[in-house]
Amino acid sequence: MKRYRNREIWDFEHQVMLAAHHSNGNRINDSNKLLLNNYSVNCGKKVILGIDGGTTSTVCICIPLIPFTQQLPDPLPVLARAVAGCSNHNSVGETAARETLEHVMADALSKSASTRSSVQAVCLSVSGVNHPTDQDRIINWLREIFPSHVRLFVQNDAVAALACGTMGKLHGCVLIAGTGTIAYGFTEDGREARAAGAGPVLGDWGSGYGIAAQALTAIIRAHDGRGPKTTLMHSILDKLNLSSADELIGWTYSDPSWARIAALVPVVVSCAEDGDPVANNILHDSVQELASSVKAVVKRLDLCGEDGKHPFPLVMVGGVLEANEKWDIGNEVTNCISKDFPGALPVRPKVEPAVGAALLAWNFLMRQCSEGD
C-alpha cells in the first residue's frame, strides 16, 4: 500500500487500532478511553466491501467474510452502509469521482470498526466503466489505497445491479433506468453484452435524463411556436420557480449535471397522468427505447433460445421503472419485451445493488481461492 495523499480520510484507523490493543489487554491512557467507546473490535475480523457507484449517488456496503464452506445467509449480514454523491467520472470528472469513492469506503469501514487491513476483497461497480482501460485505471488507483493482499474487482454498475436480483449469479439481463440507462446481460458460460449506457450525448434515451431533456426541449419548442402547447411548461417552470421559458435556458446551462436534469422526471409523469399528450408521448418513447436496449442484449446472447421462450431473469432497477399512480413505465417495458421474448422473467431485487457488488466480491474471491490463485 503506497503512501496516499488523502491520509486524513483514514485517521479513524488509528482509533480502531488503539481499541484493538485495548481489547488485547494492553494498557491505555484515560485520554483515549472516550475514543474507544465507539469501537468494539475483533482483531480477527475479515470483511468485504461492495460499492455501487452511480450518477446520482454512491453506496458502500461492508459485510463479514463468510466462509466459503457455508451457504450465504438470507438476509445477508451487513456490518455498515455508507452513502456519498456521484462517482461517475464521465459526469463529475476523475478527481471528484475518486474522492467520493475513497470517502464512502472509509466511511463504511469506520462505521464497521474495521481497517483496510481487515478487507479481503473489494468489488467496485460503477457507472462509466465501459472499457478494460477504465477497469485497469481504477484498479491501479485502488491498489494505492489498499494493502497488497486485498483482491480488487471493478465492474460496470449494471453488473452489480444484475447480481442484486440473482443473489450473485451472473446470468440473465438487467435493465437500469435511473438518471442514466443501460441493459447488460450474461450467459451461464460467461459471455456478456450490453446496450446503451453511453451517456446522454450519445443517446441514452429512456433514462431519467433523456425523459427530462425531452420535456425541456418540448417546452422551448412550444414557447417559440415549433411544437404543440403542453402543460409541461407551466408545471416545470413552477417546479423551478421560473417565470418564463426564456429563463429555462439559463437554468439548464448554469449547471447541466445529469442528475439535476433527471430530477424533473416526476413532473413529466404527473403531466402524463393528467392527460398531457406531449408528456405521454415522451413516456411512450422511453418505453420503446428501454425495451429495445433489452431486446438487443437478449438477441446478441441468445438468452431466450431459438423459440424465444427459454426463461431468463430480467432484473429491473432504477427510479424510472417504479410504478406511479397511473403510469407504470417498468410494467410497460416488460410487456413490450414479453411480446417478443415470453421467457423473460421480471425480477424486482430484494436487496440494493451495493449488496450485489458485495456478493460479486465474495463469489470472485471464492473462485480465485478455489483455483489456487
The runs of H, that is alpha helices, within 341-352 are: none
Q: Which CATH superfamily is domain 200-347 in?
A: ATPase, nucleotide binding domain (3.30.420.40)
What residue segments make up the domains of the chain, in order of their start?
7-166+352-370, 200-347
Fold exhibited by the domain 7-166+352-370: Nucleotidyltransferase; domain 5 (3.30.420)
**Per-residue pLDDT band at 42 (split at 50, 70, 90):** very low
- Spatial neighbors of 68 by CB under 8 A, at least 6 apart, are 366, 369, 370
CB of 336 closer than 8 Å to CB of 294: no
> What does the alpha-carbon distance between residue 39 and residue 34 come to, in Å, rounded to a whole number?
10
193: nearest Cα among 158, 161, 225: 158
Q: Which of 200-204, 210-214, 311-315 comes out lowest in average pLDDT? A: 200-204
**Share of residues in the chain with pLDDT > 90 (%):** 64
> What does the alpha-carbon distance between residue 324 and residue 317 come to, in Å, rounded to a whole number?
15
pLDDT at position 95 is 87
C-alpha distances in angstroms, 134 versus 234, 257, 373?
A: 42, 21, 23
Mean pLDDT of 351-365: 92
Check if 7-166+352-370 and 200-347 are the same fold.
Answer: yes
Q: In what order do the strands lie in the sheet with 47-53?
A: 80-84, 58-64, 47-53, 119-126, 151-155
pLDDT at 110 over 50: yes
Q: What is the pLDDT of residues 306-343, one digit of tens each?
A: 887 899 999 999 999 998 888 999 999 999 999 999 99
Phi and psi dihedrals of 135, rounded to 5? -60, -45
CB of 86 closer than 8 Å to CB of 92: yes
pLDDT at 349 over 50: yes
pLDDT at 4 over 80: no
Mean pLDDT of 109-123: 94
Peptide bond into 147 cis (omega under 30): no
pLDDT at position 75 is 81
Q: Is the dihedral of CA 218, 219, 220, 225 positive or negative?
A: positive
Mean pLDDT of 365-370: 81
> What does the alpha-carbon distance between residue 75 and residue 78 come to, in Å, rounded to a whole number?
9
54: nearest Cα among 199, 194, 153: 199
**Per-residue pLDDT band at 355 (split at 50, 70, 90):** very high
Higher pLDDT, 200 or 336: 336
Total-model pTM: 0.79
Assigned C-alpha cell, 177: 433506468
Radius of gyration in angstroms for the set of CA atoms belonging to the chain, rounded to a whole number: 23
